[in-house]
Amino acid sequence: MKVDITFDNSINAEPSSVWCGIKFIDWMNIEADSSLYLRPLAILLKKLVAIHNYNVPFHGGISSYVLTLMTSAFLRESPKASSIAQAFIHILSYYGAAFDPNRLMIYMGREILDVGVVPKQSDILVTDPFKPQMNAASTLTQFAEIRQLFFTTYRYLIELIMSGKEVEKGGILKRIYSES
């Protein structure tokens, strides 16, 4: 079992390397109250990147925090989906193909902004809701691989839907994870 423990619950005006996990839980609960799909969609995406070993920030992977901020911003900006499956397909398509990390940024988990040119501090710019001057994705160096994973998974799902094949319960996710 992996555990991340945060001891600092203060939010200072100055940048700090300490991430405030307790405040994030409060933020997440508020966001989840306003979006039915935030939690299940974040869990699906977190599982997808974990299976492919892109979830270790210390090795350039994406943190759960950044993935949740990206999911929240996407749900606020995108047309409302009629199901979690539709939302999953849309977010895979968006971050797998449409999102351009060279000109777009995730602003405090609330919106996706076109800033023209994103300063190259890391693969993607995701401002921290509690310290907007900080890039929550500063250690992410595998975003190109994660984008490819999202796009491949999206294409697989679309092909599966278009084929009209019956899929056994639970089988679709098993195939997504093993083939993408």
Domains and CATH numbers, the chain: 21-179 (1.10.1410.10)
Q: What length is written for the chain? A: 180
SS (H, E, C) 101-157: CCCEEEECCCEEEECCCCCCCCCCCEECCCCCCCECCCCCCCHHHHHHHHHHHHHHH
Q: Which residue has the higher pLDDT, 134 or 52?
A: 52
pLDDT, tens digit, 9 for 90 and up, residues 144-179: 999 999 999 999 888 888 887 655 555 555 555 444
Q: Which of 4-13, 105-114, 141-150 has the highest mean pLDDT?
A: 141-150
| Buried-state track 95-130, b at ≥16 Cβ within 10 A, e below 16 | bbeebebeebbbbbbeebbeeeebeeebbbbbbbbb
φ, ψ (nearest 5 deg) of residue 126: -130, 105
**pLDDT greater than 50 at residue 54:** yes
What is the distance between the alpha carbons of residues 83 and 63, in angstroms, rounded to a whole number?
Answer: 25
| pLDDT at residue 142, as a whole number | 95
**Residue 68 identity:** T
**Residue 142 identity:** Q
Residue 109 gets the label, from left (phi > 0), alpha (psi -120 to 50) or beta, of left
| Buried-state track 139-172, b at ≥16 Cβ within 10 A, e below 16 | bbbbbebbbebbbebbebbeeeeeeeeeeeeeee
**pLDDT greater than 90 at residue 47:** yes
> What is the residue whose two structure tokens read 């995108």?
78
What is the distance between the alpha carbons of residues 50 and 88, in angstroms, rounded to a whole number?
Answer: 16
| pLDDT at residue 162, as a whole number | 83
